[in-house]
Amino acid sequence: MSERLSRAEQVFPALIWLKNYNQHIFKADLLSSLIVIAMLVPQAMAYAMLAGLPPVMGLYASVIPMILYAIFGGSPTLSIGPVAIISMMTFATLSPLFELGSPVYIQAACLLALMVGIISLLLGLFRFGFLIQLISHPVIKSFIIASALLIALGQLKFIFNIPLQSNNAIEFLESFIQYFSYIHFASLALGLFAILFLIYLPKIMQHPKIKFRFKGHQFISRAVPLILVVLSIITVFYFHLQNIGIKTVGEIPSGFPSLSMPFWNLDLVFKLLPGATMIAMISFVESLSIAQATALQQRSHLNSNQELIALGISNISAGLSSAFPVTGSLSRTVVNADAGAKTPMAGVLSSLFIVIVSLYFTGFFKDLPLAVLAATIMVSIWKLVDFKSFSETWKYSKVDGIAMWITFLGVVCIDISTGLIIGIISTFILLLWNISRPHIAVIGLVEGTQHFRNIERHQVKTDPHILSIRIDESLTFLNTHTLKDFLINEVSKKKELQHVIINCSSISSIDLSALEMLEEFDIELTKLHIKLHLSEVKGPVMDKLKQSNWINHMNGFIYLTHYQAIQQLSKKEK
């Protein structure tokens, strides 16, 4: 797909793959869609519950958004729909404003999806896709770990069957201590069984000694959550477990909602705006990084602005079809790709299956125990809690490690959105802090070569009349004073000094503050009969310097190489 795309293909990437669509591709897509659907049904219902919404809304969220992404999106395998982190953020946004599960809450969830969609669409149309880079890897990793932890904690309320708070770990602990004595042991037993089932069944099936050697093995291992769901429904139904206090999903309306605008007014929009913005950002980060992971394999064009537009349209449709915010799901996308999906048609097919489920099988899920659904969430989300990455990050870079801890503590101790914002801001501050502490070295000639090295690390030749300095950072207002202090101190040390040469090989730009510092410093040096020179100035920096006055008035010279500078300046003395 390296040829140039037509205008229509840029707007509707679906046109690219539809051109060559055939029976073989369809078979591959159909197979993978069946595998994905086995994961999608329990996930969709569980994530709706996580967002504080009726499980059926998870099904709604898996249909139209997926179909629209297939038309507008660039990734062939990305599976769009309900996702744990986004559902958690939806819950965090709505729960402080409205009563959980009330009609207003549900309407607000739809409105939130609509707003997330509009924000994403606008960002994409105005080409703000680059904004994704504002969030660094350590922050996003730490955010995911901390959110997963909060999500797992939050599910304990269904397993213990007590009203636990889970906006942050402190609230959780407080409410846990308060309701500790009310733990419902039948629910707990069921939940624990479900967790063990989900963890160990796939392991047993993959154990080398007990190898299941039939064709559908991979499919069954992925369908474990679905098997559990079906088994638990049957158990509840036959043994009337509701009678011993096991809570279930309850009556689910069948049929499929018609498109409708959710209730809105300006006041509500303003209340939801911060949450919607955060959700739009995170859903974009998640979705794009998942899509990128598979993009190179297909040598496909993946345009971040087009992805924002596709995600925006998907979320708008979610808002209009009684669903809640959606994004690309890591687990389902990986399974989809592994199962051999070739085009987004696989996604379209899986959403058609969901329609069938919504129309004819919702009654079946009435007896699904909440503790089992919570267990599926806990097991799938726990894979994201990777504490090892804290120590690995810390080992590579203290700055990145600090950002990770700040984000983690922010999310766990305050709340999911505040923690994310604090984490993002901390990375900016740490980056600026790093820029303000550039590496500056006095350099000398390595004898017998034309190379210059730090005089403190290497044995080098220096001249008492010449001070050579190298700075390993672009010059900005943030490091101007550091450089000036350094220069003043070095100059004050050397009584016989006649020349100062700054090696500019690592300087990619010089801002006005730095330029004026150099200019002032040159004037001061001139009064002391010392000349300031530059060497190895890069092309773009030189272009800029030519725009300034200083370059015409400076007393020193600009040398192509540092070696040349030293040679000429030592010669002059003799």
Q: How far is the CB of 289 from a second copy (least distance, A)?
A: 9
Using CB under 8 A as the binding rule, whether residue 260 contacts a second copy is answered as no
User: What's 473's DSSP letter?
Assistant: S
Using CB under 8 A as the binding rule, whether residue 132 contacts a second copy is answered as yes
Question: Strand pairing partners for 327?
Answer: 81
**Residues of span 408-447 touching a second copy by CB under 8 A:** 427-428, 431-432, 434-436, 438-439
Q: How far apart are CA 425 and CA 412, in angstroms?
A: 17
Nearer of residues 254 and 436 to a second copy, judged by Cβ: 436
Q: How far is the CB of 443 from a second copy (least distance, A)?
A: 12
**Closest by Cα among 504, 444, 428, 433 to 473:** 504
Give the phi and the psi of residue 82 in degrees, each rounded to 5: -65, 140
Number of residues that bind a second copy (CB under 8 A): 73
Regarding beta strands 531-535 and 466-471, do their DSSP bridges make them parallel or antiparallel, or are they unpaired?
A: unpaired
Question: Strand pairing partners for 532?
Answer: 500
**Residues of span 376-415 touching a second copy by CB under 8 A:** 393, 395-397, 399-400
Residue entry with tokens 């904690």: 153
Query: Helix 266-295 crosses helix 330-338 at what angle (to 10 degrees)?
Result: 30
Using CB under 8 A as the binding rule, whether residue 154 contacts a second copy is answered as no
Of 2, 20, 181, 459, the one binding a second copy by CB under 8 A: 2
Nearer of residues 249 and 424 to a second copy, judged by Cβ: 424
Q: How many CB atoms lie within 10 A of CB 214?
A: 8
**Residues of span 158-187 touching a second copy by CB under 8 A:** none
Map residues 268-307 to x or -, x wherever contact with a second copy holds by CB under 8 A.
------------------------xx-xxx-x-xx-x---
Q: How many CB atoms lie within 10 A of CB 425?
A: 14
Q: How far is the CB of 480 from a second copy (least distance, A)?
A: 6
Q: How far apart are CA 407 and CA 427, in angstroms?
A: 10
**Residues of span 526-565 touching a second copy by CB under 8 A:** 527-528, 538, 540, 544, 547-548
Nearer of residues 150 and 501 to a second copy, judged by Cβ: 501
Nearer of residues 263 and 428 to a second copy, judged by Cβ: 428
Q: How far is the CB of 382 from a second copy (least distance, A)?
A: 22
Map residues 72-101 to x or -, x wherever contact with a second copy holds by CB under 8 A.
------------------------------
CB 436 within 8 A of CB 467: no
Nearer of residues 134 and 359 to a second copy, judged by Cβ: 134
Q: Tell me the CA end-to-end span of the chain in Å, nearest whole number.
A: 65
Side chain identity at residue 176, one-letter code:
F
**Residues of span 307-366 touching a second copy by CB under 8 A:** none
Side chain identity at residue 94, one-letter code:
L
Map residues 482-521 to x or -, x wherever contact with a second copy holds by CB under 8 A.
x-xx--xx-xxx-x---------xx-xx-xxx-xxx--xx
Determine the interface stretch with a second copy among 136-144, 188-196, 234-242, 327-335 (rule: CB under 8 A): 136-144
User: DSSP letter string over 310-330?
Assistant: HHHHHHHHHHHTT----EE-H
Token pair in block for residue 242: 């509701």
Nearer of residues 167 and 434 to a second copy, judged by Cβ: 434
Token pair in block for residue 100: 């959980």
Map residues 461-480 to x or -, x wherever contact with a second copy holds by CB under 8 A.
-----------xxx-xxxxx
Nearer of residues 19 and 457 to a second copy, judged by Cβ: 457
Q: How far is the CB of 406 from a second copy (least distance, A)?
A: 14
Q: How far apart are CA 319 and CA 236, in angstroms?
A: 33
Angle (CA) 277 270 315, round 5°: 45
Token pair in block for residue 286: 């998640």
**Closest by Cα among 156, 205, 146, 145 to 180:** 156
Of 524, 558, 563, 564, the one binding a second copy by CB under 8 A: 524
Of 226, 525, 534, 565, the one binding a second copy by CB under 8 A: 525
Q: How far is the CB of 148 from a second copy (least distance, A)?
A: 19
Residue entry with tokens 């404003």: 97
